[in-house]
Amino acid sequence: MSYQVLARKWRPKTFNEVIGQQHVLAALANGLRENRLHHAYLFSGTRGVGKTSIARLFAKGLNCVNGVTAEPCGECEHCKAIEEGNFIDLIEIDAASRTKVEDTRELLDNVQYKPVVGRYKVYLIDEVHMLSRHSFNALLKTLEEPPEYVKFLLATTDPHKLPVTILSRCMQFHLKALEPQQISAHLADILQQENIPFEDLALDKLANAAQGSIRDSLSLTDQAIAMSNGKVTLSVVKEMLGLLDESQAIDIIYALQQGNGEKLMQVVNAVADKAGDWDELLREVAENLHKIAMQQLLPQPNIDESNQIGFLAKHIVPEDVQFFYQVLVTGRKELTLAPTPRMGAEMVLLRALAFHPKLVNHVIATEPAQSAVENATKSSMPSAAQSVHAIEMPVVSQAIKAHYQAKKQPIHQDVPHQANLQTTQAQSLEQPAEALVNSPVLNALEGLNQLGAMPSPSASEKKSLST
């Protein structure tokens, strides 16, 4: 007997075997029990979450020999034929390969014929969003008012591409991506029944890599079994998926928080030596930052400071965690634009290091002290502009300026001290004191001072002078 892959071998045969999707299963089961059946159903969701499997189970419940039931027997010829994919009244169509309107019209021409052996004629159209616009238009009337013995089951990964006229004619069910814990438990149950040894951590890695898809997780498990010669181990799974050591992602967070560029590049070089996936590196760092943020918000009692996540949650402020996470998530989009993936990853990490708020605040804090020293140095030395201005200023202008500056200051001593003050100011302007003292300019200024000391004329004197 030929080998059958796990994804096909362990396809659910009853509603109870379906993993997750309880909100969909409950609605379908109630409809079958109460015989409240819609004529068109739309199942949407990401890949490998059970859209076509649930549709086949629903078709089995409609056509079981024991009657319409939410619990088909799985033993009658109708149930077995549906499981084997050769039931004549279950017409499965791949819309991706039959997009033309001619194909749709050929399909609709057969709708008028009653089922051959079953109770209902069921049309299962997979990836229905791939149909052309004309095909949708041809399907509208039949989808709205089909014969009572016809049921349409539509499956798609992208319901937004369907016309609203199609959506309004269907009962819609959105299937959710599964949680890693659900996938890991399902894989463990299957491997136990297959008598294949495994490591729990290896299954956790496979569940995370599946990204919510049961089919993907089973395909990866098949690959891991083939690589490990019948045993699913953590080392084999890491090698297969190109995963990194958990310590490397943690070491990067330590280096970013400490502002240690040398340590950061050491980790990057270690990743390069193992030919690691650079996008996976940034993803794992972001995933650990998310764990740290959640631990800070909702502390888990089983995670203390002896755990690396618990230790980082205690010693990294939430603002830094959010900053690093934002830089990494945004930087992952730029990897395809970088010259090489490694360069892109390095620049993302260096950006987080360069704009780390802690380091920026440290630089800003040191700037005022440096500025104070520079200002003190500048104030003790005349600026170049002042020196040039003093050199170009004529001697008379310098003397007059010095004179009026001296007059603005309060005089507490005698006139000889004022002359000394003028002499000091003249020397500060780098002019010879003897040239200013013996110059006629100071003599003229003394005359002006004497005139300023004379009493002002009275009104009668002003009148006589004017006449």
Amino acid at 65: V
Long-range contact set of residues 19-27: C-beta below 8 Å, sequence gap at least 24: 19/50, 19/178, 19/182, 19/183, 19/186, 19/214, 20/49, 20/50, 20/176, 20/178, 20/179, 20/182, 21/49, 21/50, 21/54, 21/175, 21/176, 23/173, 24/54, 24/173, 24/175, 25/54, 27/173
Residue of 130, 144, 213 whose CA lies nearest to 178: 213
Asked if residues 173 and 44 have their Cβ atoms less than 8 Å apart, the reply is yes
Q: Where are the domains of the chain?
A: 6-174, 180-241, 246-358
Residue 392 has pLDDT above 50, yes or no: no
- Going by C-alpha positions, the residue among 212, 275, 192, 205 that lies closest to residue 233 is 205
397-422 burial: b if 16+ Cβ within 10 Å, else e: ebbeebbeeeeeeeeeeeeeebeebb
Average pLDDT over residues 83-109: 86
Radius of gyration of the chain (CA): 44
Q: Which fold has domain 6-174?
A: Rossmann fold (3.40.50)
pLDDT digits (tens, 9 = 90+) for 347-371: 999 999 998 866 555 444 444 445 5
Could you please state the CATH topology (level 3) that the domain comprising 246-358 is classified under: Zinc Finger, Delta Prime; domain 3 (1.20.272)
pTM: 0.68
Residue of 99 and 316 predicted with greater confidence: 316
Alpha-carbon distances, residue 48 vs 94, 161, 176, 219 (angstroms): 16, 19, 10, 10
**Residue keyed to tokens 């033309």:** 100
Would you place residue 400 in the very low, low, confident or very high pLDDT band (cuts 50, 70, 90)? very low
Which of 141-145, 337-341, 390-394 is the most confident on average? 337-341
Q: Kindly give the pairing relationship between strand 121-126 and strand 90-94.
A: parallel
Residue 205 has pLDDT above 60, yes or no: yes
pLDDT of 411-429, one tens digit each?
444 444 444 444 444 444 4
The winner for highest mean pLDDT among 41-55, 222-236, 422-436 is 41-55
Determine the pLDDT at residue 161: 92
User: In CATH, what class is 180-241?
Assistant: mainly alpha
How far apart, in whole angstroms, are the C-alpha atoms of residue 217 and residue 180? Answer: 10
b vs e for 444-453, b when ≥16 Cβ sit within 10 Å of the residue's Cβ? ebeeeeeeee
Residue type at position 386: Q
User: Residue 134 above 90 pLDDT?
Assistant: no
